[in-house]
A and B are shown apart, each in its own frame.
Chain A
Amino acid sequence: MANEVKPGSETIGAAGPKSKMTLFKDDRAEDIGAIIVTVIVVAIIVLLKMK
């Protein structure tokens, strides 16, 4: 067995998906998720402040 660690499986001492420290499938998906959330939050703030 070479390795079972997946990106995103960052909980200490546990390499499997059960203890992943993210709801995303890996780090890359989480990064994209963060970009999408940012776009939504920033868009809401800009719209609210637009008078």
Chain B
Amino acid sequence: MSNESPGFFRQLPSALPGLALIIITMVVIRNWIEPWMAVTKVFGMQKPLTDAFHLNYILIGIIFGLLYRNVLFGGRMPEIFSNGFKLSRLMIKTGIIMLGSLYTFSAIVQLGSMAIFLIGGFVILTIIMVLWLGKVFGLDRSMTGVLANALSICGVSAAVATSPAVEAKASHVAYAIATILGFGILTMFISPFIGHTLGLTDLQYGAWIGTGILNSGQVLAAALAFNPNVAPGTAVSVAEIWNIMRVISIPFAVFAVTVWYWAGKTEIEGGKQKSLGTLLVEKFPVFVIGFMVMVLFTSMGAFGSVGLKGGLPPSETIKTLRLVMQWIFGFGLVGLGGYIDFKELRQAGGAPLKLGLIVGVTKYVLALVVVLLIKDSLVSI
């Protein structure tokens, strides 16, 4: 069966209408809707949308994407806009690479060492918990394997990366993704509210959601929803280091779950289990290399002063980079909203949903508890 699709450049012209819709949406939100929310009065309350519900251009953008797909277009993105919305992950990845301009190598080492400790611990504990609960609920081993990595590392990417290694069917992947995305959408909207209510700092909040939320796009959205500023020390700068650490661990976690899967099979079918080296080559997310190169250039002062705490203010180049990043993230997250399909989320159910919710909620709450316990040890940049 051939799965070949036309090349990127051949599809690019057909992406323009969808791209235009995304751009127009974000321009309207940032120039008219957000300023209106900042002054509007509802039921005698001054600015309730921004002050009480903490809505900003990021959350509004996602809501617009959701409404386009699920309300305006009746659950299916029309052909004319479809390819444009497929550029949303490209935009999010581009923004994440550009985020490298927020850090110097010393800041990465400071944040990264904390992140490795938290992320590593949570990834291992989550895998163990899912494998155990999978046995308790009597789930198929392939389904358990996909859920283990989906819930421990990076949601959708991890589920897709694990599926061939554990012989998962498309339905397994669909169940796992529906479960984690359903849970993730909820956390994406409630986390900023919880963070503000608890009076968390950007550092504490970024560490919490970077550990507790399952999906890269949702981590980004929750961070920017808490504080839309893109600068060193803001929620997004912390959460994304956690996220990068987690993304890097994909090949290792895929290997661990693959070893578990094949160890439990009575007859090993030759050649199916891949080595860690092969998985590293095949699955390593190379956009992380782009991010590190960006950090290298920033550390060398290629873009001028970064604006770290106690240092010089950010250069004009860095300020422009951050402004562009905000727009790119805004565009990407409107597109992300357009990929949330309520009909498909209803596929989640039964034991996989139960397992997913138990593990997801445990991880989310435990991450908050751990961050609050170690808050004095967290190092700000």
What residues make up the interface of A, taking CB atoms closer than 8 Å to B?
A: 1-17, 20-25, 27-35, 37-38, 41-42, 45-46, 48-49
Closest-CB distance, B82 to chain A (whole angstroms): 9
Q: B25 interface residue, CB < 8 Å from A?
A: no
- With A23-B11, A46-B303: A13-B347 Cβ-Cβ less than 8 Å: yes
Q: Is the CB of A35 within 8 A of B83?
A: no
| List of B residues within 8 angstroms of A37 by Cβ | 90, 94
Q: For chain B, give the interface size range.
A: 35 or more
**Given contact pairs A31-B93, A32-B286, A21 touches B320 in the complex (Cβ within 8 A):** no
Q: Considering the chains assembled together, what is the distance between the CA atoms of A13 and B168 in angstroms?
A: 13
CA–CA, A12 and B346, complex, Å: 10
Please classify the interface of chain A as helix (H, G, I), strand (E, B), loop, or mixed, using the class held by over half of its residues: loop
Name the CB-closest residue of B to A12: B344
- Interface residue B97 (Cβ < 8 Å from any Cβ of A): yes
Q: A27, B157: Cβ atoms under 8 Å? A: yes
Q: Which of B3, B174, B302 contacts A6 (CB 8 A)?
A: B3
Q: Which residues of A contact B344 (CB under 8 A)?
A: 11-14
- Contact A28/B286 with A3-B164, A7-B161 known, Cβ cut-off 8 Å: yes
Q: Does B280 contact A (CB under 8 A)?
A: no
The answer to whether residues A11 and B290 also contact, given A23-B15, A45-B320 and a CB cut-off of 8 A, is: no
Residues of A within 8 A of B328 (CB): 41
With the chains together, A20 CA to B324 CA distance in Å? 27
B294 CB contacts on chain A under 8 angstroms: 38, 42
Q: Give the distance in Å from the alpha carbon of A21 to the alpha carbon of B86 in the complex.
A: 5
Please, what's the 1-or-0 string for B310-344, where 1 marks a CB less than 8 Å from any CB in chain A?
Answer: 00000011001100100010000000000101001
Interface positions of B (Cβ within 8 A of A): 1, 3-5, 7-8, 11-12, 15, 83, 86-90, 93-94, 96-98, 156-157, 160-161, 163-164, 167-170, 173-174, 177-178, 181, 285-287, 289-290, 294, 302-303, 316-317, 320-321, 324, 328, 339, 341, 344-345, 347
Q: Are B97 and A5 in contact (CB under 8 A)?
A: no
State in angstroms the CA–CA spacing of A8 and B160 once bound together.
Answer: 8
* Nearest A residue (CB) for B161: A7
Give Cα A28–Cα B160 distance, bound, in whole angstroms.
13
Q: Name the residue on A nearest B345 (C-beta).
A: A12
Pair B98/A41 contact, Cβ less than 8 Å: yes
- Report yes or no: A41 in contact with B163, Cβ–Cβ below 8 A: no
A1 proximity list for chain B (CB < 8 A): 169
- Minimum distance in angstroms from B118 CB to a CB of chain A: 25
Chain B, residue nearest A33 (CB): B90
Instruction: Give 27 pairs: A residue, B residue, CB < 8 Å, sorted on A.
Output: A2-B167, A3-B164, A3-B167, A7-B160, A10-B157, A11-B339, A12-B177, A12-B178, A12-B341, A12-B344, A13-B174, A13-B177, A14-B174, A15-B170, A21-B86, A23-B8, A23-B90, A24-B90, A27-B157, A30-B89, A31-B93, A34-B93, A34-B96, A35-B286, A37-B94, A49-B317, A49-B320
Q: Are A3 and B169 in contact (CB under 8 A)?
A: yes
Q: With the chains together, A4 CA to B164 CA distance in Å? A: 8
Nearest to A11 among chain B residues (CB) is B339
